[in-house]
Amino acid sequence: MTGPEMPAAWRTAPNGRRRARGLRLALPGIPGPFNAITDVAGVEVGVTTLVRGDGPCIAGRGPVRTGVTAILPRGRPGIATPVLAGTAMLNGNGELTGSWWIEETGRCELAITITNTHSLGTARDATLKWAARSGRMSPGQDWGLPVAAETYDGFLNDINGFHIHDEHVFAALDGAEGGPAPTGSVGGGTGMICYGFKGGTGGASRRVAAAGGSWTVATLVQANFGRTEELTILGVPVGARLAADARAGATATGGAGSVIVVVATDAPLLPHQLKRLARRVPLGLARTGTIGHHSSGDVFLAFTTANAAATVPAEGPIALAMLPEESLDPLFGAVVECVEEAVLDVLFANSDMTGVDGRTVRALPHDPVLELLAAAGRLAG
């Protein structure tokens, strides 16, 4: 779908920047209304973005370029009801709290938060405080093991100043909503770098048919990974050309960083099937060129909003629905497409940022990239 037929949310991010589809990239698949993780009914996203100060880095004072992203799988009304979930990992230089409990029980509790590496504990603990004080703990228990994830923003942010506090996490949780999802240098993605250009937060969704039903698969990505020369867009090695062109303004990050991907669906899947979805995330990342560097933490979580009865106390057997294993290929394909598109949206729907010590990270330059894609026939008519 192109031109005026394309929904506005597919073309333009909430920050006003053009998304990949709005720049006519010939991306596969049919997204949901917002082309975001919030296309899965009930999922809400909130962000707190902290940008203040300029000049030399003074620990504890800034400059500050960081934030928190919160994902509520069932929204605030359903926060006390866990979701079935599974996790996977490509390279382990990262952290995902609560992952052992997900591995043990196949369920993810409370909210999911993503922030910078040194604020992970604050995000986790503040989520528990938020839930405990408001009576949002899971039924029958007064404890929780929420998921918090991280990527490193220390090139632009005073990361050792520990600027994320409880109130910032509370604000992201309380501000979570459906509709168009925040994109670009927002929330936990505020200070991130991707393929040497401004990274951050992105997302995408797909409508798929499987096992006689229609389902939504969607992703939210916090992208902070890759070297410029690796960047590949729709099969075109644009990064090699950009790395050779000093005017492109790429930042030499050496591939350091990480990527967190959250996959959501409304398809009735069991935890082992959700783990299988999470394992397909690296295929989408690979389409954009990354090799999964030694210094990168590449960690993934997949959850479903279906089968709510499986996660609440019961006195007898519980009947669950599940898609047959042989019907999962369309969902696997949707994960790969959504991850690829989410990373591209991070890059395209972004802007330059200057942070600590005057360091500047440029946004991906549209004109030279679009010229290369047009020459390769990768733009829609």
Half-sphere exposure of 327 (CA within 13 A, CB side): 14
State the catalytic residues. 258, 296, 298
Contacts of 133 (CB under 8 A, 6+ apart): none
Contacts of 347 (CB under 8 A, 6+ apart): 194, 195, 197, 198, 199, 223, 363, 364
Provide the total of helices (H) and of strands (E) in the chain, helices listed first.
9, 14
SS3 120: helix
Half-sphere exposure of 5 (CA within 13 A, CB side): 5
Q: Residue 199: exposed, middle, or buried by beta-carbon count in 10 A (0-12, 13-18, 19+)?
A: buried
Cis before 77? omega within 30: no
Q: Residue 321: exposed, middle, or buried by beta-carbon count in 10 A (0-12, 13-18, 19+)?
A: middle
Residue whose tokens read 């898609």: 323
* One-character DSSP codes across 155-209: TTS-GGG----HHHHHHHHHT-BSSSPP-BS-GGGTT-EETTEE-EEEEEEEEEE
- Spatial distance between the Cα atoms of 254 and 21, rounded to a whole number of angstroms: 29
- Spatial distance between the Cα atoms of 115 and 342, rounded to a whole number of angstroms: 18
Do 275 and 302 touch, CB atoms closer than 8 A? yes
- Spatial distance between the Cα atoms of 259 and 58, rounded to a whole number of angstroms: 27
